[in-house]
């Protein structure tokens, strides 16, 4: 790292970016290797050593105490005190310092606001101010844009530029290529815990993506144009509260037709979770109706909804989709355990369960040591395939997939995506919710954008990303790209700009590397091969 440099650390989920940075911040101890600062080896026993060495970090999940004020959060660990050993907090001085730093770098925060009342973008600003008050020279930003709208992201990039102008070095961890190209001075790509190359921002998206996942990525989801039929799911005026009795879904109207994929895009936490849970009968519907094939299903129990022909992949498989301690076979019959052929009277029929499990493990390419292995021992992608296999084994009218590929490797993503499209092609109505815009655009025949509990626009998947981004931020242009909710938006080939990042967000599949690292570096300017091991700060 050079002073005043923005260094992007690029890699797929699980490549070891965050682990590396946690080592650098003293949270984890390295097993081998050393860290050099100004040529001197640095031994970090904990975060306080890192802070003393001028290293600050903004974590992916913010490290803020929700019930504390901004000032309290910022002073924690480096409190200004008076009164000697008693250590009375000097809040006035701390508040002054917060105001001073936030003014100097143009990071507006209210020192007395309580964190839990602040929007995410502001919480992130608090994190950055927190690091800056500790006089850092090197600031690590771990996936800072994951929870931001495109507009908030722009603001963040501006902040990073001003920090750079003030002589701070920044490590910017991300898997989003567009941002990297917009801001980085230098790019290091990490894969499976190893540095696989460094590149300059002039390198093309395809080159970076290839470097990141280690083979030419499939940039689009292959699919034929949709042939939408009759409406299957009709939602009208739906109102739902979240766990804290705050309105989360506020008058949603949606229609999903047979044989089409409706994608719901939006920044996480804008009511998507509650919308899906309300459809599934997991959350009370306060107003409005949910209709499946002409039949009202709001107020039904979840079991009844499932049996009516709805398949459901919940957004967080570790909490909702699987019983981790149960075997793969048991998890595969969680929906039908009490029905023939799996159940008879009061007893289960293990032979039937085992036979069906073996069949589906084969069919859905679940990589497991055996059908009796606890599902928790499988990789994320294979766990997800178990859920998909279970849900797609019933005759479905409607298939709902929430974050279907979160934390899933590339191979599994392709598989899951192709199953989703296959389901569409056999005439099922499909509703996909994802916080990854690229996934929504890639899969959907129509894209509904959700903002603050409302659908603020339904557009075609060929709508420019920027326009959808604006919608995600709640800004409705005068003329929206697609005609809203008429179900006739034509399926077009995906926008090339979008396509470049479509699959780049995700983990690679080890097995099939189409081109090696050196193939990539040999054929492109601006991408230099990494000398084996020299920059290899293995965690």
Partner 1 sequence: MSTTAVPDVAVAPVDEGFWTRTRKVGLVLLALGLLATVLFGVLATGEQARFTLSEDAAGAALEINGTVGAVLFGLIALAAGGAMLVGLPKRWFVPVLAVGLIAFVFSFLCWQVSAAPTGQNFMPLVNIVRGTFLLALPLIFGSLAGVLCERSGVVNVAIEGQLLMGAFSGALFGSISGSVWVGLLAAAVGGSFISLLLAVFSIRYLVDQVVMGIVLNLLAVGITGFLYERLMQTDAAKYNSAPRFSNWEIPLLSDIPVLGPALFRGNIFLYLALLLVLVIHIALFRTRWGLRTRSVGEHPTAADTLGVKVLGLRYRNVIMAGAVAGIGGASYTLALFSFTKNMIGGKGFIALAALIFGRWSPTGALLAALFFGFADQLATYLGAINSIIPGQFLAMLPYLATILAVAGLVGRVRAPAADGKPYIKG
Which parts of this chain interact with partner 1 (CB under 8 A)?
22, 25, 27-28, 46-48, 51, 57, 59, 61-68, 72-73, 75-79, 81, 86-89, 115-120, 123, 147, 242, 244-248, 267-271, 452-453
SS3 132: helix
Q: Which is nearer to partner 1, 85 or 346 (CB)?
A: 85
End-to-end CA distance of the chain: give it in Å, rounded: 18
Q: Which is nearer to partner 1, 77 or 284 (CB)?
A: 77
CB of 353 to partner 1, least distance (A): 34
CB of 119 to partner 1, least distance (A): 4
Q: Could you tell me if 279 and 400 are in contact, meaning their C-beta atoms sit under 8 angstroms apart?
A: yes
**b/e map of 254-287 (b: 16 or more CB within 10 Å)?**
bbbbbbbbbbbbbbeebbbbbbbbbbbbbbebee
CB of 452 to partner 1, least distance (A): 4
Closest C-alpha to 413, from 448, 376, 379, 370: 379
2 CB-near residues (< 8 Å, 6+ apart): 169
CB of 121 to partner 1, least distance (A): 8
30 CB-near residues (< 8 Å, 6+ apart): 23, 537, 538, 539
- The pair of structure tokens assigned to 262 is 């409706």
Q: Which is nearer to partner 1, 268 or 488 (CB)?
A: 268
Q: Which is nearer to partner 1, 66 or 284 (CB)?
A: 66
Q: Which is nearer to partner 1, 319 or 426 (CB)?
A: 319
CA distance 443 to 262: 8
CA distance 77 to 46: 13
Q: Which is nearer to partner 1, 152 or 414 (CB)?
A: 152
Task: Kindly report the number of other CB atoms within 10 A of residue 237's CB atom.
Answer: 12
CA distance 300 to 197: 54
CB of 77 to partner 1, least distance (A): 3
CB of 65 to partner 1, least distance (A): 4
Q: Which is nearer to partner 1, 126 or 420 (CB)?
A: 126
CB of 81 to partner 1, least distance (A): 5
DSSP element (H, E) containing 90: none
CB of 282 to partner 1, least distance (A): 19
CB of 13 to partner 1, least distance (A): 16
CB of 153 to partner 1, least distance (A): 14
Q: Which is nearer to partner 1, 88 or 337 (CB)?
A: 88
DSSP element (H, E) containing 191: strand 186-191
Q: Could you tell me if 453 and 430 are in contact, meaning their C-beta atoms sit under 8 angstroms apart?
A: no
Task: Give how far Cα 346 sits from Cα of 279, 306, 334, 390, 399, Å.
Answer: 30, 21, 15, 22, 30
The radius of gyration of the chain from alpha carbons, rounded to an integer in Å, stands at: 25
Q: Could you tell me if 454 and 250 are in contact, meaning their C-beta atoms sit under 8 angstroms apart?
A: yes
CA distance 528 to 281: 54
Task: Kindly report the number of other CB atoms within 10 A of residue 29's CB atom.
Answer: 12
Closest C-alpha to 283, from 266, 300, 308: 300
21 CB-near residues (< 8 Å, 6+ apart): 9, 57, 140, 142, 171, 173
CB of 79 to partner 1, least distance (A): 4
CB of 84 to partner 1, least distance (A): 11
Respond yes or no on whether the N-terminal peptide bond of residue 144 is cis (omega within 30° of 0).
no
SS3 283: coil
Q: Which is nearer to partner 1, 258 or 448 (CB)?
A: 448
DSSP element (H, E) containing 196: strand 194-199
Q: Which is nearer to partner 1, 90 or 519 (CB)?
A: 90
In 371-440, the DSSP E strands lie at 398-402, 429-433
Q: Which is nearer to partner 1, 76 or 308 (CB)?
A: 76
83 CB-near residues (< 8 Å, 6+ apart): none
Q: Which is nearer to partner 1, 245 or 295 (CB)?
A: 245
CB of 25 to partner 1, least distance (A): 7
Q: Could you tell me if 448 and 276 are in contact, meaning their C-beta atoms sit under 8 angstroms apart?
A: no
CB of 437 to partner 1, least distance (A): 15
Q: Which is nearer to partner 1, 182 or 286 (CB)?
A: 286
Query: What angle in degrees, to the nearest 10, is found between the helix axes of 350-363 and 380-391?
Result: 110
Q: Which is nearer to partner 1, 147 or 211 (CB)?
A: 147
């Amino acid at each position: 790292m050079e002073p005043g440099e923005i260094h992007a650390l690029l890699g797929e989920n699980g490549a070891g970016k965050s682990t590396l940075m946690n080592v650098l911040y003293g949270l984890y101890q390295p097993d081998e290797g050393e860290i050099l600062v100004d040529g001197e080896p640095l031994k970090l026993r904990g975060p306080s050593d890192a802070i003393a060495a001028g290293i600050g970090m903004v974590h992916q999940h913010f490290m803020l105490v929700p019930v504390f004020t901004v000032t309290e959060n910022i002073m924690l660990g480096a409190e200004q005190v008076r009164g000697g050993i008693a250590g009375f907090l000097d809040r006035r001085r701390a508040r002054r310092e917060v105001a001073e730093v936030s003014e100097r770098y143009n990071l507006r925060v209210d020192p007395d606001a309580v964190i839990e009342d602040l929007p995410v973008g502001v919480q992130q600003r608090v994190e950055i101010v927190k690091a800056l008050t500790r006089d850092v020279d090197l600031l690590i930003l771990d996936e800072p844009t994951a929870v931001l709208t495109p507009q908030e992201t722009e603001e963040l990039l501006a902040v990073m530029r001003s920090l750079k102008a003030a002589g701070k070095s920044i490590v910017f961890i991300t898997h989003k290529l567009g941002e990297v190209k917009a801001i980085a001075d230098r790019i290091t790509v990490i894969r499976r815990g190893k540095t696989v190359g460094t590149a300059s921002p002039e390198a093309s998206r395809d080159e970076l993506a290839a470097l990141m996942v280690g083979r030419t990525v499939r940039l689009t989801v292959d699919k034929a144009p949709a042939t939408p039929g009759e409406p299957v799911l009709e939602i009208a005026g739906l109102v739902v509260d979240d766990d804290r009795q705050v309105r989360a879904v506020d008058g949603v109207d949606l229609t999903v037709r047979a044989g089409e994929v409706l994608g719901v895009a939006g920044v996480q936490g804008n009511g998507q979770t509650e919308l899906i849970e309300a459809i599934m009968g997991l959350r009370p519907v306060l107003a409005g109706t949910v209709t499946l094939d002409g039949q009202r299903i709001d107020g039904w129990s979840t079991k009844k909804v499932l049996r009516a022909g709805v398949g459901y992949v919940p957004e967080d498989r570790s909490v909702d989709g699987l019983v981790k301690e149960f075997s793969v076979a048991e998890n595969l019959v969680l929906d039908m355990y009490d029905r023939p052929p799996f159940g008879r009277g009061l007893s289960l029929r293990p032979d039937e369960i085992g036979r069906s499990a073996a069949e589906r493990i084969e069919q859905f390419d679940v990589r497991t040591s055996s059908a009796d292995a606890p599902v928790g021992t499988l990789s994320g992608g294979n766990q997800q395939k178990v859920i998909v296999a279970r849900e797609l084994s019933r005759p479905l009218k409607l298939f709902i997939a929430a974050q279907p590929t979160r934390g899933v490797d590339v191979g599994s993503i392709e598989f899951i995506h192709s199953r989703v499209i296959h389901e569409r092609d056999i005439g099922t109505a499909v509703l996909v919710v994802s916080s990854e815009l690229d996934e929504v655009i890639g899969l959907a025949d129509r894209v509904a954008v959700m903002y603050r509990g409302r659908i603020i626009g339904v557009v075609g998947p060929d709508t420019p990303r920027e326009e959808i981004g604006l919608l995600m931020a709640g800004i409705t242009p005068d003329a929206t790209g697609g005609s809203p909710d008429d179900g006739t938006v034509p399926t077009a080939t995906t926008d090339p700009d979008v396509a470049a990042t479509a699959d780049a967000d995700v983990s690679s599949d080890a097995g099939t590397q189409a081109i090696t690292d050196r193939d990539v570096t040999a054929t492109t300017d601006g991408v230099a091969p990494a000398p084996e091991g020299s920059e290899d700060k293995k965690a």
